Amino acid sequence: MKLLILLGPPGAGKGTQAQHLVSRFGLVQLSTGDMLRQAVKDGTEVGRKADAIMKAGQLVPDEIVTSLISEQLDKHAHAPGFIFDGYPRTQAQAVALDALLADRGMKLNHVIELTVDEDALVTRIAGRFTCARCNEGYHDTFKLPKVAGVCDICASTEFKRRPDDNAETVRARLAVYRADTAPILPYYEAKGIVSRVDGMGDIASVGAAIDAIVQDVPVSA
Ligand code: AP5
Ligand code: MG
């Protein structure tokens, strides 16, 4: 069982690298951002609460995201491991995750922090789009579909862009990352489980650096 957190600011490449780890190691990606966007699309009670908060680039309440993660851990009880993408984002969520895992006899193995410079983040986020059917991530410059207008994975020709990917909201998301999320790193550093990866290389070289770490992380029972 491998249990990993991908930590980094908006646009750092968490979702991109999580998808890579899914195909490389068969781990299950648990992205609270993706879960919340699905809830908004489905018009659920969680989605109705989260919609305006996400458009403003602020954080959805801790209890909501922790309960989404708890449901998914149960749903994928037989998975070979999990990648937490965009969760935890506050100290309270970090503590809650440890409790959720302990309840299920699991323990976090590793935290990978993607470091990037902020100028690159805005360029990355402004160019991002995803497949409307399978959610594969793309970029106008850095990762275009192999055949223009056709998803590499599912051949859909429909793509979408996120409503929170505008310059103003990105600035708010970055400020929230600095204020609430970056400060949780010492919690994991104290456990000796943090590795830093330079997220400024191209997608393949960042992926190779992450693979080398994931291959070597000690696994829990
Ligand atoms: P979330 O969906 O988690 O967004 P985020 O953290 O802002 O991160 P992003 O998804 O924008 O970036 P990413 O690191 O995944 O980058 P990506 O791989 O796509 O959260 C959205 C909102 O939901 C939050 O603001 C909040 O409101 C709410 N929320 C979610 N979780 C929550 C929680 N736990 N608690 C409370 N609220 C929560 O890459 C970006 C682009 O760059 C792509 O186009 C990609 O192709 C390209 N790219 C990636 N890597 C590279 C590279 N190495 N070189 C060049 N291009 C690259
Ligand atoms: Mg993401």
pLDDT at 167: 85
pLDDT at 1: 84
- Residue ranges of alpha helices (H) inside the chain are 14-25, 32-42, 45-55, 62-75, 91-103, 118-126, 167-176, 185-189, 203-216
CA distance 17 to 150: 21
Q: Is 60 in the pocket of ligand 1 (CB under 6 A)?
A: yes
Q: Which parts of the chain register pLDDT below 70?
A: 220-221
pLDDT at 221: 52
pLDDT at 19: 95
- Which residue among 49, 83, 131, 142 is best mutated to probe the pocket of ligand 1, counting the most ligand atoms within 8 A of its Cβ? 142
Catalogue the active-site residues: 14, 89, 128, 162, 173
pLDDT at 119: 86
Neighbours of 86 (CB within 10 A): 23
- 10 Å CB burial of residue 11 (0-12, 13-18, 19+) is buried
pLDDT at 220: 63
Residue nearest to atom 48 of ligand 1 (CA): 13
pLDDT at 137: 94
Beta partners for 28?
82
CA distance 15 to 6: 9
- Which residue among 7, 16, 112, 138 is best mutated to probe the pocket of ligand 1, counting the most ligand atoms within 8 A of its Cβ? 16
